[in-house]
Structure 1
Amino acid sequence: MPKKQGSLIGQWRALDAAGVRTAVIVIDEPEGFGFAKAKEDPSPLSLPLLSNQGAILQLVDQFQSAIACFVELNPGGGTKWTPTDRRLRRLVSQTKSHTVPKQHFSAFDDTTLYNLLWEQHGVSHLVVMGHFGGQCVKQSIFGGARRPSGHESTIIRPGAIDYDFEVYTTQRLINGSISDWPEHHKVSIFDHI
């Protein structure tokens, strides 16, 4: 997928100045999940990724028309994943922060996310970041099979573009490769934050 020239934050500022409702969607960034860490650093998130995600989240309270949604994996069967990394959550005030649990790859699959975004807040544009660029983040944007194989592999679940959301991101906000993402007119991947 070709990258869009310019700054994601610059685009987001322009949307906010125009009164366009936006949401930052943080997908699967729980504390202690998937990152190597230095002995002296209690953080499971790598510093560059955490710093980049933090830069975006700090703007939510500054922008008039923005909210943040922390999408947290909470699969059935009694498994409980830890909540989103505290250093990310504390960057957004409680009045603009929402938590949405999910049980499948896509943040829109069998969750309240669409209702929260569109029905409750009138959001039309998303800034997406998170873990597993090739799985959960990708499916949350583009939709896809609920499971990669097995009987549910033929059940296609919607993603953000199926709900007509405009999506903005950059590789600097996502852990994992996004090089195999399909090109879509509703998705803009910026050069830089």
Structure 2
Amino acid sequence: MNIIATSKEEILQTCRELIRQQKGTTLNVRQVASACGVSVGTVYNYFDSKADLVGAAVESVWNDIFRCEEQDDSFSDILSCIRWMFARMEYGSRQYPGFFVLHSMSFAQQGKSDGKQRMQKTWQHMCEMLCAVLRNDANIRSDAFDDSFTPEMMADLLFSLLLAASMRCDFSCDAVLQIARRTLY
């Protein structure tokens, strides 16, 4: 690969490629520098520490997986949103083999607070997107939500089901769609 990286984004692009090739093994600064064709010091010019590099690389992968270029950031209904999210998780599993399992396990360790914060930021964004779709879906029953069961609770449930499916590498959204239909329509 050995390209010369001249920007933070180019280094992150190289990190994504390394994550793809390594099928989920961890990154190290020397390896990234070598793949970028730069010195270790150059990598540290862009990232304060290995943890900062790894955290930014993980965030970059999540952003690649859930970019909304083919969507206009809006979904007409929750069912299409669920289908899209499962399709993106399947894409992520193909593009970055082993990433989901490694990522969840590596940031469960102590001392990985930056990575956890980046992961939670991405996940929070996705839950907010689900909430927005739930609030704007004209097909949802008017009595589907109340004070004891809110759109936020449903979004959290849907997202939890998505994460559980990704850990099992099960990208069929049929069961989750059925839950959404029976609960909301």
> TM-score, normalised on structure 1?
0.28
More strand by share: 1
Q: Which of the two has higher C-alpha Rg? A: 2
More helix by share: 2
Structure with the larger RCO, 1 or 2 (CA within 8 Å, 6+ apart):
1
